[in-house]
Amino acid sequence: MIQQVHAQASSDYGEPHPQAAREFQQFAFLIGDHEVALHAWTGDAWTPPRPVSAN
């Protein structure tokens, strides 16, 4: 049995897939690199910001 494999549509990093549903455009702001800082509650006060890498 021979299975045919077709090339999948691809996208550049940081861009939505070309065949993505139009409804996903509302989440476009999530694509890419972001700088995030987290604070932890110690019970008395917040800690200084801790950088976190997110993409």
Q: How many domains does the chain have?
A: 1
Task: Please indicate, yes or no, if residue 48 is contained in any of the structural domains.
Answer: yes
The token duo for 18 is 């070309």
Asked whether residue 8 carries a pLDDT value surpassing 70, the answer given is no
Task: Please indicate, yes or no, if residue 41 is contained in any of the structural domains.
Answer: yes
Band (54; pLDDT cuts 50, 70, 90): low
In tens, the pLDDT along 10-50 reads 656 667 777 888 888 787 777 766 777 889 999 999 999 88
| pLDDT in the model for residue 12 | 63
| pLDDT in the model for residue 6 | 60
| Cα distance between residue 28 and residue 30, in whole Å | 5
Query: In terms of residue numbers, what domain contains 36?
Result: 22-54
Considering the entire predicted model, what is its pTM? 0.33
**Encoded amino acid at 39, one letter:** H
Task: Please indicate, yes or no, if residue 29 is contained in any of the structural domains.
Answer: yes
